[in-house]
Amino acid sequence: MPPFDSARFTLWLPQLLCAAFLAILFLQSGLDKVVDWKGNLGWLTGHFAKSPLKGVVAPMLAVITLLELAAGALSAAGVVALLLNGNPLLGYLGAVLSAVSLLGLFFGQRMAKEYAGAAVLVPYFVVALAGVYLLRLS
C-alpha cells in the first residue's frame, strides 16, 4: 500500500475499490448460479422462451457462470495483489472479464426484450470500464 499522502495512493485507492466491487459482484453472482443451478436454469428457460436464444439457455448459463466466476476470482486476486505489492495486473484482467461478462448479460437481456433489465446493467458496465482504465494506469 502506498503512503496515504502520496500521489500513488490517489490512483491505488480507486484501483482497489473497483477491483473489490467487481470481486464482490461477480463472485456472488457466479456462486449463486452454481449453488442454485436448477433454479437459475428454470427461470432463464422461461425468460428466453420467446427469444431466438431459447434452445441454448443451458450452454449460455454455463458460459456466463464461468465468466462471472473467473472475473470475480481475478478481481479478488487483484485486490490481494494490490494490497500486497501494488501490482494491478490481476485486477485489470478481472475488470476485462467483468466487462465481457456484462456484455454477455446485456446481450441476453436485449434478446429477451427485457429492456429494463438491460438498462440496469449499464452502471455496472461503467464501473467495469472504469476498472479497466484505472487498473491499466501505473
Q: What is the model's pTM?
A: 0.93
The pLDDT tens digits of the residues spanning 22-33 come to 999 999 999 999
User: How sure is the predictor about 71, in pLDDT bands with cuts at 50, 70 and 90?
Assistant: very high
Count of H helices and E strands in the chain? 5, 0
Q: Parse the chain into domains and list their residue ranges.
A: 22-136
Residue 138 pLDDT > 80: no
Q: How far apart are CA 26 and CA 124, in angstroms?
A: 11
Residue 106's φ and ψ, nearest 5 degrees, are -65, -45
Residue 3 pLDDT > 90: no
The pLDDT tens digits of the residues spanning 96-121 come to 999 999 999 999 999 999 999 999 99
**C-alpha atoms less than 13 angstroms from C-alpha of 55 in its C-beta half-sphere:** 1
7 in Cβ contact with 73 (< 8 Å): no
52 in Cβ contact with 111 (< 8 Å): yes
